[in-house]
Amino acid sequence: MTDVLLPVAIAVPLVAATLPIALGVRYDDLGWPVAAAATTALAGVAAAIVASVARGDRLSHALGGYRPPIGIELVADPLSAAVLALVAAVSLATLAFVRVAGPRGNPFYSGYLLLVGGLTGMTLTGDLFNLFVFLEIVGISTYALIAADRSGASAYASLKYLVVGTVGASLYLLGVGYAFLATGTLNMLDMQAQLAQVGYGDPLVRASYALIVAGLGLKIAVFPIHAWQPDAYQRAPDAVTTIVAALVSTASAYALLRVSYTVFTVEFLAASDAITTTMLVVSGASILAGSVLAAMQSDLKRMFAYSSVAQFGMIVAAIALANETALLGAAVHLVGHGLIKFGLFLGVGLLAYGYGARRLEDLASVAREAPFTAGSIAVLALALVGIPPSVGFLGKWYIGVGAVETSLADGGAAGIGIAAVIFVSTLFTLSYVARLLERFYFAGVGLPGDHGEPAVADGGTSGDDTAARDETHERSSPRRVSPVEDAPTVPGVPDRVPPASLAALVAAALVAIALGFAGFGLAEWFDPFLTEVFA
Amino acid sequence: MTAATGLLTSIPPYVVLAVAALAVLALPRRAGHAAAALATAFTFGQAVLLGDGGTGAHLATQLFGFDVVFFNVDQFSLLMGVVVGFLATAAVLYAYGTEAPTWVTAFALIYVSSTVGTIYAGDWLTLIFFWELMAVTSTLLVWQYGGAAVRAGYRYALFHGIGGTILLGAVVVHFAHAGTFLFSATTGIHPAATVLAAIGIGINCGFVFLHTWLPDTYPRPHVAASVFLSVFTTKTAAYVMYRAFPEGGMWLAYLGGIMAVYGAFFALLQYNPRRLLSYHIQAQLGYMLAGFGLATYVGEFAVTGGFAHLFNNVLYKSLLFMAVGVVIYRTGVEDIRDMGGLWREMPVTFIVYLVGAASITAVPGFNGFISKGMVLDSAHEVHNVTLLLDSGLLWWLLVLGGVGTFMSFIKLGYYMFFHGSATLSPKDATPFQTAGMVLAGGACVFFGVFYTQLIELMPFTELILSDEVYFKPYSQSHLTESAALLVAGFVGFFALKRPLGWLAHHMPDVDAVTYPAMFYLGRASIWGVTELWAAVDRAVMGLVGAIEWTAMNPREALGRAGVDAEIRTGIGRSVLFLTVAAGVALFVFVLS
């Protein structure tokens, strides 16, 4: 009950967030060192928490010495520990890219640390209202970060997110209020017991769940209330997109999973077909629409943004399926997808930073210029498709198997439908990933400087031909990708991208593959949580 | 069982043969062939020795969790082992004398090895394994020769691949119904697998219309390879046919009768000596199957007749292939019209040919006379369709086949050894060729004279030699029958020589239809698949193009559909969506 690591994990980034602003009066470039120190410390604390959860402990801490259910409780179990590890790792790894790519300035780092603190809080809290507070901290810091490069487009995207995000958070708060009215408590575990007494059919309880799902659904960006998300991801500075895309929706999806299973429980979901069916229909639509819209995009960031709509559709579907295998899939995909998206947005950011390439057309033969960056992106994109062995495959596989199991168990069509939708979505994912890989590795044959076709067929009069051909290329095919003027050079690596960020990207790709081999280990890791939920 | 017999039962002969095949490749030519001859002689000797109390299911074990018997010794497999081992020894000597490349002998040995494996299999799983291996190794033996043999070998491989797959299907069906692979557990193959088994084995037996691979393949490879090929695949198939249908059936008997006539008739039309002999394989298979088919209707006598004919056929058929092979080897000519008068040049070969021809045409004093007489006697008891002379259709078919056999061997001998004066003056057979031929030919004469020795090797010996069965091959009726056949043969050949010559140019076999049909079917399916794929490809690419255009120009696409509206979701619309979503969620969750 007195595990002090939990409040420390939240306090470190939150307290550190004040430093850049406070000390910024005297020192100009203090933001990055402070952020680096704070996130490193957080990573250490998170590692300690994970280690102790791995020993089988369930960490819990009563804030300020007030015992739950009155006081606020912080909890770490396998699920929250896994998300916490993701938060700590991504926030630390992103900093390397932030340092070179910006945005700069002390206030930005305050916002960054605030975001990290909020995410950590969302992960660890065991109290519904406290969850709202951290949700708002995350939301507000995200609004600020998105607009951090002060361009018009990002300001609009930020404003859009601000308005709908606030409405969404309010809906969540309203839902928590209803639940409080019905049970008189805010502590998650306590409310779980109280809800069972009140009865799952109680209108107040059901309305509460409806509002919480709607509110968190917006934060997760489920179709059709996803409209803020592609704008926000596309317009935000690259480094901001990297952390926001990897963590913010993930934390919200984690919150939905936590509220659905720890507070409302499987029995509540099983008690009402209408609730789960509605959620399945919406998530199915989300999976399809997200995949189709992603396949239609040419801007890389927007493409992966829509892809997130589809992937989180799968997680919400797995939550609504209320099946043990599917829930394992949801937990795996939550972490795995966060990791994959971190890598993908980082890679896209690196290509933009080193080569000024932001759209599919700009990427001709980029694999020749930047083999490591392109290779890592390719690996991560294939993991996103769900090619084994990768963590993306595991998550999708478990969700799909769980969906089929559900259908076999109750004879309903919903599970099979979700499995079919996941399959179709995989095809769409494959289609846009294939476009990307085609650009990386095959496009640009015959461009000047290409080795495949000699630019000059024979000597003598070929000068005109070459000129004519160049002209044709300029009109019909994309120009060959080339590094921007002051792109960094790394000895021994052809990629003209920042080395530390490249290392993080390669590491992300390797971890995504390594986790793919750890299917049994992951199932083992989440097993205590699943047994508790499906007891 | 003595200790020596116990030791013998623990050595599967096909392993010895496979090792010998490697030895042929590794050792010098002479030593390698000696090793090969020793291995085949071992196979022969082992089978002879095991005949004295060595029967039983040896090397019974489990494979993939199924009960299997790798070395099943009973009367039937023993008689096969005896004759295959004996003949393979003669054939190895012959191959050595014919300058066969070591690769030919090596492939032939591994082919003999898989044949012996099939023979000694005690269960369907082991059998199908060696059966498929036979198809592979014999194809290699054909391909080794190169040239025209490659295409023929390819067709051969197609036939046997399909046949093997069908038999595999039969074995699977058998297991699904019977629950075991072991021969000892069931009487033949399960009735549910009858059709599959009949067709699968029938392809190797040369059933009418499934036989075209026979005359297509066997004339093309090395002459020594032909000797091996002519004996093992088809005869093993007949043996397996008996394993599958030990109770026979009239369908099998009549099929055999038709094969006898069909094969003999087409043999008559041939001018390529090996092709002529290949058609006779089909005809002779007909006699064996007729014998096996009458297993229930007539009894053990018919089965014994079938097996005796199988046994003898192995000897004289290979003998004929050897004799013809010597002529081809010495002259390089593959058309009998270009030969002639060779009896003066090649007296040894001529005599050997006479022995083989006398055996296959069932002249008294040669082994074919004994066994063909047994089959004909059995067929004589079938009267469900009675024709002339108070004899049944089956008997008439077999007799007609016999007349055709006479005619075609008179033709073959006439063209090769007489037929004008000698235009060629080749040398006679080499010593080792002669040795091989004397072995096989001697056996033909021996079993024709001392026919009780033949019966001793057969199953149901006591029954045949008992007083119940009146088994007197040299009775007056048999001799009359034989003389009638001989006369009919001579008269028929010289009377019909010209019409037959005309027919030979105008009478195509079914392969004139089936091969082009298969070829164009294959082409059409490839064209169909390719075009279908291309159509799918065009449709998909068109769809992708349309989607891509829509994605690039969403406003215009909407405009074409008649909708002119802003499609981006602004802030206001987002909030509206969120509110509606929350409202719907409330409505559904609360009111459900």
d(CA B67, CA B397): 42
Chain B: residue whose CA lies nearest to A169: B578
d(CA A99, CA B553): 38
Low-confidence ranges of chain B (pLDDT < 50): none
Supply the ipTM of this predicted assembly: 0.81
With a CB cutoff of 8 Å and minimum separation 6, the contacts of A400 are A329, A418, A419, A422, A423
Question: How close B567 comes to chain A (CA, Å)?
Answer: 11
Neighbouring CB atoms inside 10 A of A56's CB total 8
pLDDT at residue number B98:
85
pLDDT tens sequence for chain A (535 residues)? 458 889 999 999 999 999 888 888 888 788 899 999 999 999 999 999 999 888 887 888 888 888 877 888 899 999 999 999 999 999 999 999 998 887 888 889 999 999 999 999 999 998 999 999 999 999 999 999 999 888 888 999 999 999 999 999 999 999 999 999 999 899 998 998 888 888 888 888 989 999 999 999 999 999 888 889 998 999 999 999 999 999 999 999 999 999 999 998 888 888 888 888 889 999 999 999 999 888 888 889 999 999 999 999 999 999 998 888 999 999 999 999 999 999 999 999 999 998 888 888 888 888 888 889 999 999 999 999 988 889 999 999 999 999 998 888 887 788 889 999 999 999 989 988 988 898 888 876 666 555 554 444 444 444 444 444 444 444 444 566 778 877 788 877 888 888 889 999 999 999 999 998 888 888 889 988 888 888 7
Q: What value, to the nearest 5°, has the Cα angle with vertex B492 and ends B490 and B495?
A: 105
Q: Where are the alpha helices (DSSP H) in A152-202?
A: 152-183, 188-198
Judged by CB atoms closer than 8 Å, whether chains meet at B589 and A164 is answered as no
Closest CA to B325 of B304, B346, B344: B346
Q: Where are the alpha helices (DSSP H) in B144-272?
A: 148-178, 194-205, 213-217, 223-244, 250-268
A171 CB near a chain B CB, below 8 Å? Answer: yes
pTM score, whole prediction? 0.60
Judged by CB atoms closer than 8 Å, whether chains meet at B574 and A228 is answered as yes
Nearest-by-Cβ selection for B578 from A167, A213, A278:
A167
A285 CB near a chain B CB, below 8 Å? Answer: no
Cβ contacts (< 8 Å) between B571 and chain A: which residues? 159-160, 163-164
| Residue located via tokens 């004929």 | B320
Nearest-by-Cβ selection for A207 from B547, B548, B590:
B590
A437 CB near a chain B CB, below 8 Å? Answer: no
CA distances from A327 to A321, A399, B43, B452, B507 (A): 8, 7, 66, 81, 74
d(CA B279, CA A474): 72
Domain ranges of chain A: 274-448+477-535
d(CA B36, CA B386): 51
List residues in chain B touching A: CB distance below 8 A: 544, 547-548, 550-552, 554, 569-571, 573-575, 577-579, 581-582, 584-586, 588-590, 592
A275 CB near a chain B CB, below 8 Å? Answer: yes
Q: What is the pLDDT of residues B382-429, one digit of tens each?
A: 777 666 666 678 888 888 898 888 888 888 888 888 877 767 777 877
Cβ contacts (< 8 Å) between B550 and chain A: which residues? 296
| Residue located via tokens 């089956």 | B394
Closest CA to B189 of B261, B267, B270, B123: B123
DSSP category for residue B206: T
Cβ contacts (< 8 Å) between A288 and chain B: which residues? none
Judged by CB atoms closer than 8 Å, whether chains meet at B574 and A164 is answered as yes
C-alpha A254: how far from chain center? 11
d(CA A107, CA A71): 32
DSSP category for residue B155: H
Neighbouring CB atoms inside 10 A of A437's CB total 18
Question: How close A54 comes to chain B (CA, Å)?
Answer: 38
A186 CB near a chain B CB, below 8 Å? Answer: no
Judged by CB atoms closer than 8 Å, whether chains meet at B592 and A275 is answered as yes
**Joined tokens for residue A150:** 């002060």
Cβ contacts (< 8 Å) between A167 and chain B: which residues? 575, 578-579
- CA quadruple B36, B41, B44, B49: dihedral positive or negative? negative
